[in-house]
Amino acid sequence: MSLPRRLLCVITDEHSDPIELARMALRGGAGMVQLRRKKASGRELYERALRIQELCREREALFIVNDRVDIALAMMADGVHLGQQDMPASAARALLGPDAIIGVSVSCVAEAVNAAEEGANYIGVGHIFPTYSKDKPSEPLGTAAIRPIRNAAQLPVIAIGGIGHNNAAEVIRAGASGIAVISAVSDSDDPETATRELVRRIRQ
């Protein structure tokens, strides 16, 4: 399965109601929702995933699960997003099948090439700008890193990290196929409007 160009992926945070956040993001035009809930039990994650997937189906948007290949498999989600410390993309592919979307977080060319060789559909490149959504020991990559990583892997790049209304278009111009955001939507007083404005800026 291929990703649409200029895709906005909204990632749920640890504090908001993920179902309500997904609902508002989808109303705003998000093309993908990623359920990320590190502290949730397997049952809680599964139940929330089912509801969010239903919302995504209604809006013809993609739904992926962060890290948890077992949850993605059990509910037949569109795919999964993996970090460098998670199972290899090749192992996830063996479990989820050829049609699943598998994304892998990378921060350098070597990681990107490895993800491509293991069968990833896209790479999440970051963090691009300073971010407070996650603890990051390394310095931001900056937009200049996007094109070399994309060219080396020959995969679509979903850029992440510190991206908001003021710099979303810059990231697309730098070579990203889309962006992923957490706080730019979840911390907004109006997540639906925030999503709609992000979509407008990356498509302009």
- For residue range 30-43, what is the model confidence (pLDDT) as tens digits? 999 999 998 889 99
- Domain range summary for the chain, segments of one domain joined by +: 7-102+160-203
pLDDT tens digits for range 100-146: 999 999 999 999 999 999 999 999 999 999 987 556 668 999 999 99
113-121 contacts: CB < 8 A, separation 24 or more?
113/152, 113/153, 115/89, 115/153, 115/155, 116/153, 116/154, 116/155, 118/88, 118/89, 118/90, 118/93, 119/89, 119/90, 119/93, 120/89, 120/155, 121/1, 121/2, 121/3, 121/79, 121/155, 121/156
Is 186 in the active site?
Answer: no
Per CATH, which fold does 7-102+160-203 belong to?
A: TIM Barrel (3.20.20)
Whether 183 is a known active-site residue: answer no
Given the residues 5, 57, 134, 203, the one annotated as active site: 134
Q: Which of 22, 123, 34 is nearest to 71 (CA)?
A: 34
Report angle CA 47, 9, 91 to the nearest 5 degrees: 65
* Catalytic residue (one of 36, 37, 196, 201): 36
* Active-site residue identified among 48, 105, 133, 177: 105
Q: Does residue 36 have an active-site annotation? A: yes
For tokens 């997540």, what's the residue?
Answer: 191
